[in-house]
Amino acid sequence: MPVLELQNISKHFGAIHAVSDVSFSLEAGEVVGLMGDNGAGKSTLVKMIAGNFRPSHGSMRLDGAELVMHRPVDARRHGIEIVHQDLALCDNLTAAANVYLGRELRRGFGPFSVLDYAAMYRRAAQIFAELKSETRPRDLVKQMSGGQRQAVAIARTRLSDPKIVLMDEPTAAISVRQVAEVLNLIRRLRDHGIAVALISHRMPDVFTVADRVIVMRRGRKVADKRIADSSPEEVTGLITGAIETA
Amino acid sequence: MTPAETPDHRTRSSDEARSPMTDSTNSLDQSIAQKQHTRLAALLSSQTFWVFIAVILACLYLSFATDSFATSKNLYNITRNVTFVAIIALGMTIVIISGGIDLSVGSVLCLCSMVLAVTMHAGYSIEIGIAAAIGTALVVGAFNGILIAYLGFPPFVVTLGMLSVARSLAMVASNNTVVFEFGPDHDKLLALGGGAWLFGIANPVLYMLVLAALTGFVLRWTRFGRHVFAIGGNEQAAILTGVPVRPIKVAVYMISALSAGIAGIVQTGWLGAVTTNIGAGMELQVIAAAVIGGADLAGGVGTALGALVGAALIEVIRNSLGLLGINAFWQGTFIGGAIILAVLFDRIRNIRRRD
């Protein structure tokens, strides 16, 4: 059974049809590349799965159950974690503080509870070790490289035990060496049985790490193929419209 | 050369006492304990520390250069004068950390003092007077905060408007008169602000220290404090990670107004009279104190201790100019110079770090 199933999802903003009648599913332990040109509807689709937008039509199912979300927090509660394109990091805080942002651990009772620094440092260090990242919990994000920042953003998704991780352009703004680092991080998420949706412009990244590729054009899904059955040339053609569907 | 290149490899002593561990646990503990800066390096790179040194040096110099500085009367005056700016600077520091600004504090101080004075003058007890003043502060702060957080007004505009409104309301409340009779609890109010309950330390100083400790605690140890830093660092990130940004912003402006209200109550007790021009121009001194103490107007950086140290430097400058016989017209130049100098050091450090 798929973890996430989208059935005939559409999203309209007034007269603009951002996403029209899209259906697809994500399986556990699978990396799916979601590709398309600017304005193809990728971001809108992701924002619906992330709980930012509600679909105009269609339904989403999580583990077979109807999924209705009103706020981004709902997505997190259902085990959907998002790594945002700009990573949503606070430069002025430490790695551990960023990992725990919005769900800080506390000790004590009620109004007298204080931040549990020790526990947060310990758990963050464990996650970084798990991800084989050299990031240390007390490091300030301000002084980190692009790859390290990415590791912090990905570490966030490991706090809960998510079913799905959506990654929005995780390799857009980092160096070649760091790209390899991030792709490894994605593989580790997959190895934990998590379904990863990778939204990317970079053909090599998708073909290196993904099992399946979904191509969007003008709000519609034009292809949904196993990577082994496709090629970068075909996907490029599908994105630009040189090839109608596949 | 930079502190980051000399990492601190200490592990905690409890680990050394335990039986030998596997390599992985060991390195995990090291990773947890590892800091980018040693304590000393962190101290030396803090603006608050250097401003503190400047305050100490200025005090030492003045003790030798003048006969009147190191007298208990003058020190009593200085510490007490510092407090009103410092108490509000604590609230302002929280606002600045959140990436905002509050220009209305001087007027809010005046309004709250006047509400207290008029209420007590009308024959009500000191408790009711203080409750009315605090209530006024909270309403003003909530008004500022709601406009900023929920309606998206720029903080500068809202609080600039409130600067004008609050002072005007103080004039309406008092019919622009001086109030110096505070009804049946007159003496209690004067004792509250003018007394010295503990070891001859002026009461306002005690209030300031308690409030500073409270602010420092909130900033470092509470989720609220953490979220204030996060909002100032990257508001969008705070929203995306589920931080309740809007309620926190409202709370921040309520705290700022509250600090102005508390300063107003204490100052009323100390002065024994309220006019409608008290606190005029104070917002600039308060912001200066916060910035000199290390708060960054771009948001995300600031400390409670910095607010006190910044306020202290401003007061020492003011006091020393008088004692050294320098024309009072120079005061603004020196305080303005201190603001620019304090931030200049920070800029130089940043530029050096970038290279």
Domain extents for chain B?
A: 67-354
What is the predicted pLDDT for the residue at B355? 55
Q: For residue A102, which of A126, A127, A77 has the smallest C-alpha distance?
A: A77
Q: For residue B295, which of B86, B47, B106 has the smallest C-alpha distance?
A: B47
Q: Which residues of chain B carry a pLDDT beneath 50?
A: 1-23
Q: Report yes or no: A143 at the B interface, CB cutoff 8 Å.
A: yes
Q: For residue B235, which of B250, B255, B249 has the smallest C-alpha distance?
A: B249
What is the predicted pLDDT for the residue at B10? 39
The DSSP H or E segment spanning A13 is strand A4-13
Strand A31-36 and strand A195-199: pairing? Answer: parallel
Q: Identify the residue among B31, B229, B297 best suited for mutation to test binding to A, counting A beta carbons within 10 A and taking the highest.
A: B31
Q: Report yes or no: A192 at the B interface, CB cutoff 8 Å.
A: no
Smallest Cβ distance to B4: which of A82, A88, A143? A143
Q: How far is B13 from chain A (nearest CA, A)?
A: 15
Share of chain A above pLDDT 90, in %: 33
Q: Which residues of chain A carry a pLDDT beneath 70?
A: 173
Top CATH class of A4-90+161-240 equals: alpha beta
| pTM, to two decimals | 0.85
In chain A, which residue's Cα lies nearest the Cα of B244? A102
User: DSSP for A216-232?
Assistant: EETTEEEEEEEGGG--H
In chain A, which residue's Cα lies nearest the Cα of B298? A92
* Set of chain B residues whose Cβ sits within 8 Å of the Cβ of A140: 36
What is the predicted pLDDT for the residue at B12? 38
Q: Report yes or no: B60 at the A interface, CB cutoff 8 Å.
A: no
Strand A16-26 and strand A4-13: pairing? Answer: antiparallel
- Whether A71 and A51 have beta carbons less than 8 Å apart is answered as yes
- Binning chain B into helix, strand and coil, the percentages to the nearest 5 are 75, 0, 25
The verdict on a CB contact (< 8 Å) between B36 and A97 is: no
Measured CA to CA, the distance from residue B268 to residue B270 in angstroms comes to 5
- Binning chain A into helix, strand and coil, the percentages to the nearest 5 are 35, 30, 35
* Set of chain A residues whose Cβ sits within 8 Å of the Cβ of B234: 88-91
Per-residue buried b or exposed e for B146-171, using 16+ beta carbons within 10 Å of the residue's own CB:
bbbbeeeeebeebbbbbbebbbebbe
Smallest Cβ distance to A104: which of B226, B233, B234? B226
The verdict on a CB contact (< 8 Å) between B300 and A90 is: yes
In chain B, which residue's Cα lies nearest the Cα of A87? B237
Q: Is A60 helix (H, G, I), strand (E, B) or coil?
A: strand
Alpha carbon distances (Å) from B303 to A89, B221, B280, B290: 21, 13, 25, 9
pLDDT, one tens digit per residue, over A148-182 is: 888 898 888 888 888 999 998 887 767 777 788 88
Q: How far is A241 from chain B (nearest CA, A)?
A: 34
Q: Which of residues 214-233 of B touch A (CB under 8 A)?
A: 220-223, 226, 229-230, 232-233
- DSSP class of A160: S
- Whether A181 and A198 have beta carbons less than 8 Å apart is answered as no
pLDDT, one tens digit per residue, over A12-27 is: 988 888 898 999 999 9
CATH of the domain spanning B67-354: 1.10.3470
